[in-house]
Amino acid sequence: MKLGIIGSGMIVQDLLSFVGTIDEIELIAILGREKSRNKIEALTNKYQIKKAYYDYDELLNDNEIDTIYVALPNHLHYEYTKKALLHNKHVICEKPFTSNINELDELITLSKKHKCLLFEAITNQYLPAYKNIKDKLSELGKISIISCNYSQYSSRYNSFKKGEILPVFDINMSGGALMDLNVYNLHFVIGLFGRPNNVEYFANIERGIDTSGIVILEYPTFKAVCIGAKDCGAPISSTIQGDLGCIRIEGPTSVLGDVKIIRNDQTSENIDVASNHHRMYDEFKRITKYIDDRDFNTCELMLEHSKIVMDVLTKARKSANIIFGCEKTN
C-alpha cells in the first residue's frame, strides 16, 4: 500500500510512531497546511516520508499514491474522502466515518462506482481481543445487560467553559462526546450483536453540543447502555452480563487491553488480548492486506458494519435534537 496521509494531528503522529514496523506500507506523502510547514517538514524528515504537499489536488494527482488516510476533524471526513474516491484512490477514513448516514451512503455508492476500497479506521474491530470476546459470548448464557463507560475528562472542556470552542466541542465541526468517545462503545456493541431495534440518546448539552451522554440500545432480549463523557471522568470499564457470568473489560473499548470472563461460581479466566503492539497496529496491518489483495468482500462486510453504526449515531443525535452545522438549512 502506497499511502498519502491527510493531516498532522495526534492520531497521525500515533500512526507514524509504529507504521514503520508494517513492511507493506510505504509512506509516499503527507498533506499539511501552509502555516504548519515547519511541523510537516519535521515529520517528513523524522519518519522518512517521501513528499510533503500543501495542496490536496496536487497530492491526489500523485500517481505514486494508491491509498489516502483521512485524519482530519470530523466535519471534513466526507469532503476529503469523496474527493479521493473521485480520483480513484482507496481510502482509510478515521472514525467517525462521516457526520451522518446520508454522507456515508453517498461515499459507499461512489466507492463502488470507482471500484475503490473504503474502510473506517476503528481500532476495536481489528483487535485480536475482539474476536476472542466474540468466541466467549456463548459461555455467558442468556445475555441481559451490556454496559460500556468511556468517560474521560477533557482539558479542552476547561477552555469550552471559558467560551473557547475547540473542534471536539464544535457543533459546526461535528464534534461532541458521542462522536469522539461513545462511538467506540457503539462499534464494540454493534460489532458483537448487530443492529439494535431502538436507539435513544440522553445527552447533557451545552451550547448545542453534547459534552456527555448515555445511549440506550434496545435489542430483542437485552439492553445495552453506552456512556461517553468529556465533561467528567470515571473508571473506564465495560461489562457484558449473562445468567452464567460476565465479561469484564478494564479500560476503553478502543483498546481492549484487560479482558476477563467471570463465572457465577466465582471462577475467572483472562481472555487473551494477543497483542503487544500499538492499539492502531492491527487495524492498519489488516486493512493494508485487504487493500493490497483488493479484497472487496471483506471491505463490503466492514462497510455494512460501519453503516449500522453511522445509522445509530445519526438516530441517537436526532433523538437528542443535536444538529450539526452541515445539516442546518437556512
Question: Both 191 and 113 in a single domain?
Answer: no
Question: Both 130 and 240 in a single domain?
Answer: yes
Give pairs for 75-80: CB < 8 Å, separation 24+: 75/99, 75/172, 75/173, 75/174, 75/324, 75/325, 75/326, 78/103, 78/104, 78/106, 78/107, 78/326, 80/6, 80/56
Is 293 within a domain? no
Domain boundary among 94, 120, 146: 120
Question: Both 101 and 10 in a single domain?
Answer: yes
Hey, what amino acid is at 191?
G
Question: Both 114 and 55 in a single domain?
Answer: yes
Distance of CA 260 to CAs 128, 182, 241, 273, 293, Å? Answer: 14, 22, 12, 10, 35
Q: How many CB atoms lie within 10 A of CB 166?
A: 15
Angle (CA) 72-74-80 rounded to 5° is 55
Is 291 within a domain? no
Question: Both 110 and 202 in a single domain?
Answer: no
Question: Both 135 and 152 in a single domain?
Answer: yes
Q: How many CB atoms lie within 10 A of CB 114?
A: 15
- pTM score, whole prediction: 0.96
Q: In CATH, what number is assigned to the domain containing residue 153?
A: 3.30.360.10
**What local confidence, expressed as pLDDT, does residue 329 receive?**
74
SS3 53: strand
Q: How far apart are CA 190 and CA 160, in angstroms?
A: 31
Question: Both 95 and 133 in a single domain?
Answer: no
Q: In CATH, what number is assigned to the domain containing residue 23?
A: 3.40.50.720
Q: Which residue range(s) make up the domain with 39? A: 2-120
**What local confidence, expressed as pLDDT, does residue 165 receive?**
92
For the chain, residues with pLDDT lower than 70 are: 330
**What local confidence, expressed as pLDDT, does residue 29 receive?**
98
Q: How far apart are CA 118 and CA 287, in angstroms?
A: 10
Cell digits of residue 252: 476503553
Distance of CA 184 to CAs 90, 118, 122, 252, Å? Answer: 23, 19, 8, 8
Is 305 within a domain? no
Q: How far apart are CA 248 and CA 240, in angstroms?
A: 7
Domain boundary among 102, 120, 138: 120
Closest by CA to 22, choosing from 272, 256, 280, is: 280
- For 275, phi then psi, to 5°, come to -150, 125
Domain boundary among 88, 120, 152: 120
**What local confidence, expressed as pLDDT, does residue 98 receive?**
98
Question: Both 54 and 98 in a single domain?
Answer: yes
